[in-house]
Structure 1
Amino acid sequence: MIYTLTLNPSVDYIVQLESFQLGELNRTVSEAKFPGGKGINVSRVLKQFETKSKALGFIGGFTGTYINQFLQSEDIETDFVEVSEDTRINIKLKTGKESEINAKGPNISEDAFELLKSQIGKLDSNDLLVLAGSIPSSLPETTYEELVKICKENGTSFVVDAEGALLKKVLPYQPFFIKPNHHELGELFNTDISSAEEAVPYAEKLVEMGAKNVIVSLAGDGAVLINKDTVLFAEVPKGIVKNSVGAGDSMVAGFLAAYQSTSNIEEAFRYSIASGSATAFSLGLCTKEKVEELLPQVCLREIKMGEGK
């Protein structure tokens, strides 16, 4: 079973305006609301591929109830820990350009954190946990480390979709899959990366540090997959980018769904790229139909150190 963890979910309130005048009454052209959070996005895309998952994390108040009911209406299992304060509302303001106002989120008590750790402790070697996104300020900075230690003890595979120090600290516990983009990879090693050729040696270092599979996205310039056995380059589909939110989460979901059904890393890589692109080319998260439409454009080839794109 795949479990997705969102420590600080949100209700994303998306409002479209023709223009925004500070200090004046502004009226929307359209608005929509959805459950937000990286792990939740992974569960929603997994559902597109008919891959079961269970969403974990913290929710509270009427906003938490909305998230829970929304996911259950999509036939996604949930097992959230309830907290006393309301789940946050994040505002996405679209006026030609997109502005965001992200709330802090509820305080997570020590008791609530212990309940979550108890849930993770019940997973076993047949399960996989996706840890995605930032850590709430009320939780310790070591939260991810504490959770992946439990996974390691249980023999539970895990995926981490996080940046910087959060990612580096979990590498010794051997994550099954990580997917930094080229900017994030460069920041990890204090360098600039702009091509597949430049990305490969640093991604190989992440494998040496413990990661089992690494995908590095180079936006429109493709992506590379590296593990101990192979280095692959993928050409990405061409299209008009309409939405960057959830593209990375869709890559994680596409990879896991395809790997679960085929046990083939190359096929998982292809689906990962197609899924991320399908979300980027859509106003919302990708659909299975859109992903499969883009799959023929994802061409893979093996690359060697020192070989250009």
Structure 2
Amino acid sequence: MIYTVTLNPSIDFIVRLDHVETGSVNRMDSDDKFAGGKGINVSRILQRIGYDNTATGFLGGFTGKFVEDGLVAEGIKTQFVAVDQDTRINVKIKADQETEINGAGPDVTTAQLEELKRVLSGLSADDTVVFAGSAPASLGNQVYNELIPLVRETGAQVVCDFEGQTLLDSLAYQPLLVKPNNHELEAIFGVELNGIDDVETYARQILAKGAQNVIISMAGDGALLVTPEATYFAKPIKGVVKNSVGAGDSMVAGFTGEFVHSKDPLEALKWGVACGTATAFSDDLASIDFIKETYQQVEVEKR
């Protein structure tokens, strides 16, 4: 079973209008509300491409019920720990410029954290756990240094989708996959990347620090998968970007689902690129039909 861990889920409230005038009343043209959070996005795409999974983390209040009801309606299993305060709402304004206003998230008590640890400590070597996104301020991202080794002690694999120091810390636990983008890779090593050879050089440094597989996403310039055995470059696919928010999460879902199923990194990369690209070209997370259509356009070269 694949588990996704979202420590700070949200309702993503998508607002669309032509232009935002600060200091004035603005009227939206349309809106949508989705269950949000990086791990939850991974769960939703995994389910669409045919991989059963269980979403866990912390949920609270009427907003938490909205998130859980939405996941259950999509056929996703849930095993969340209830918290006392409401799950946050993130407002994403899609106008002439894209603007986000993200909530802080609830306070998580020691007892609630221990309950999540009990869930994660009950896994087995047959399981894979996707840790994605930041933790609530009450926990801080250092909490991952408690949760990831707990999972690894069960024999389960971990996938880690973080930025910066949190990503670097996770490498000590040999994650199955990490997926920084090229800008995050520059920030990690304090360098400027000039071309794909530089990207591969620093991706291999992440591999040397413990990762089993590294994908560097490069938006309109494609994606690079580095494994101990080989490097693969997925060419960019042309289209109109509508949703940059969930594209990376979708790529993680596509790779993880296929790799757990087939253990084939090349095929996993293709599904990762298909899922990520299809979501980038969709208003919400991509549909299975659009993912399959996009998969047919994926071209990968071995370097």
TM over 0.5: yes
1:200-230 per-residue CA deviation (whole Å, 9 max, x = no partner) reads: 1111111111000001112111211111111
Aligned partner letter, 2:294: L
Q: Distance in 2 between matches of 1:37 and 1:281?
A: 19
- Structure 2 contact 134–141 (Cα < 8 Å) conserved: no
Other-structure match for 1:244: 244
Q: Does 1:167 align with 2:159?
A: no
- How large is the Cα RMSD of the aligned pairs? 1.2
Q: Does 1:212 align with 2:208?
A: no
Cα drift, residue 17 of structure 1: 2.5
Runs of 4+ in 1 over 4 A off after TM superposition: none
Other-structure match for 2:221: 221
CA separation of 1:141/1:19 partners in 2, compared to 1, >3 Å: closer, same or farther? closer
Cα drift, residue 104 of structure 1: 0.6
Other-structure match for 2:195: 195
Other-structure match for 1:122: 122
Q: Does 1:81 align with 2:81?
A: yes
User: What secondary structure, in the 3-state scheme, does the structure 2 residue paired with 1:142 have?
Assistant: helix
Q: Does 1:184 align with 2:184?
A: yes
Other-structure match for 2:90: 90
Aligned partner letter, 1:296: Q
Aligned partner letter, 2:123: L
With 41-50 and 138-147 compared, the bigger mean Cα shift is at 138-147
Over the matched positions of the two proteins, sequence identity in percent amounts to 45
Other-structure match for 1:4: 4
User: What secondary structure, in the 3-state scheme, does the structure 2 residue paired with 1:84 have?
Assistant: coil
Aligned partner letter, 2:163: E
User: What secondary structure, in the 3-state scheme, does the structure 2 residue paired with 1:155 have?
Assistant: coil
**Gapped regions of structure 2 (runs ≥ 5):** none
Other-structure match for 1:266: 266
Aligned partner letter, 2:29: V
Aligned partner letter, 1:228: P
1:27-80 per-residue CA deviation (whole Å, 9 max, x = no partner) reads: 221111111100000000001111001000101000001111111011100011
- Structure 1 contact 196–218 (Cα < 8 Å) conserved: no
State the TM-score, normalized to the length of structure 1. Answer: 0.95
1:166-220 per-residue CA deviation (whole Å, 9 max, x = no partner) reads: 0000101100001111111111111012422111111111111100000111211
Q: How many residues in Structure 1 have an aligned counterpart in Structure 2?
A: 303
CA separation of 1:152/1:59 partners in 2, compared to 1, >3 Å: closer, same or farther? same
Other-structure match for 1:54: 54
- Structure 1 contact 195–218 (Cα < 8 Å) conserved: no
Q: Distance in 2 between matches of 1:47 and 1:136?
A: 26
Q: Distance in 2 between matches of 1:165 and 1:95?
A: 32
User: What secondary structure, in the 3-state scheme, does the structure 2 residue paired with 1:44 have?
Assistant: helix
Q: Distance in 2 between matches of 1:209 and 1:21?
A: 47
- Structure 1 contact 195–221 (Cα < 8 Å) conserved: no
Other-structure match for 1:136: 136
Cα drift, residue 95 of structure 1: 2.3
Cα drift, residue 236 of structure 1: 2.1
1:268-293 per-residue CA deviation (whole Å, 9 max, x = no partner) reads: 01111111110111111112221221
